[in-house]
Amino acid sequence: MDDDQLLRYSRHILLDDIGVEGQQRLLDAHALVIGAGGLGSPAALFLGTAGVGRITLVDHDRVDVTNLQRQIAHSLARVDQPKAESAAAGIAAINPEPRVRAITERADAALLDTLVPQADVVLDCTDNFPTRHLVNAACVKHGRPLVSGAALGFDAQLSVYDSRERRFPCYACLFPADQPPEEQRCAVMGVFAPLVGIIGSMQAAEALKLLTGMGSALPGRLLMLDARRMEWTDLQVARDPRCPCCGDR
C-alpha cells in the first residue's frame, strides 16, 4: 500500500481484526456482485469504499426513476443507463481505485460458469428465484462462498452459503428449485426503502469478513428481519444430503 491508501483505509487498518494484512487482502480480492438494484447498490458501494481491488457487476436492466427510491448507487442523471454501468460510476465517484467491470447481460448459467471461478466471493443481490438457483449452482460447482440476500415489502433475509465446507447447506437445501414460491416483485408488492440498504450493507459486511480472513458466522444460519417491528429471527439450517445441487459433493 502507498501513503494515499494507508490514509484512505486507515480506519480499517486500526481494527485489530483487519489491520494492514487484512486491508491488503481486500486490495488483492475480486468480488462478483449479481444484481445492481436495491441490494446490489449498497453492497457494491461498500465493497468499493472498503477497497476491494476488483469488482464485477452483472445486471441486464436499466435505471428507472422508480428505482431511485431505494437503489442508492444510481442518480437522476443516470436514468435509462444500464444499472451495472451506473453502479460502476457510483463506486468511482467515491473511490476510483477499484477495477470495476460492468456486465450488462442477464446472469445465465453460461455467464456464471465463466465469472464465478474468477471471483473470491459472490454476492447474490438478485430479485428472482430462478437466477438465485443459477448463482447457487455455480458457487457450489466452483467452490465459492455465496452471500445471499432478499428483501420485499417489510421482510428480508440474509445468509452465507459456503460450499467450501461440506457440512454447510447451499441455497437449494433451504429453497428447493422444484418448489418455487409465488413470484413477487417490488414493482407489484412494493419495498421499504431502507430495508434493502440494511440487507445490502450486511451482504457487503459478510463479504468483507470473508475476504479479510475473519470468516463469517452465517453459514448454517438464516437471518430473517421483520422491519415493521425491527425483529430478527435467527434460524439454524442444515444441509440436505439429498439436495440435487450439493448432495453429491
pLDDT in tens, 112-135: 999 999 999 999 999 999 999 999
Look at the block and give the residue holding cell 440436505: 240
The model's pTM: 0.95
Rounded-to-10 torsion of CA 46, 49, 51, 54: 70
Do the Cβ atoms of 154 and 192 come closer than 8 Å?
Answer: yes
Residue 187: the pLDDT is 57
Question: 139, 170, 186, 246: which is the annotated catalytic residue?
Answer: 186
> Can 186 be counted among the known catalytic residues?
yes
Residue 247: the pLDDT is 85
pLDDT string in tens for the chain (249-residue length): 999 999 999 999 999 999 999 999 999 999 999 999 999 999 999 999 999 999 999 999 999 999 999 999 999 999 999 999 999 999 999 999 999 999 999 999 999 999 999 999 999 999 999 999 999 999 999 999 999 999 999 999 999 999 898 899 999 999 998 876 666 555 567 899 999 999 999 999 999 999 999 999 999 999 999 999 999 999 999 999 999 999 865
Helix (H, G, I), strand (E, B) or coil at 159: strand
Do the Cβ atoms of 149 and 157 come closer than 8 Å?
Answer: yes
E strand residue ranges, the chain:
30-34, 54-58, 99-103, 121-124, 146-152, 155-161, 221-226, 231-236
Beta bridge partners of 33: 57, 123
Half-sphere exposure of 189 (CA within 13 A, CB side): 13
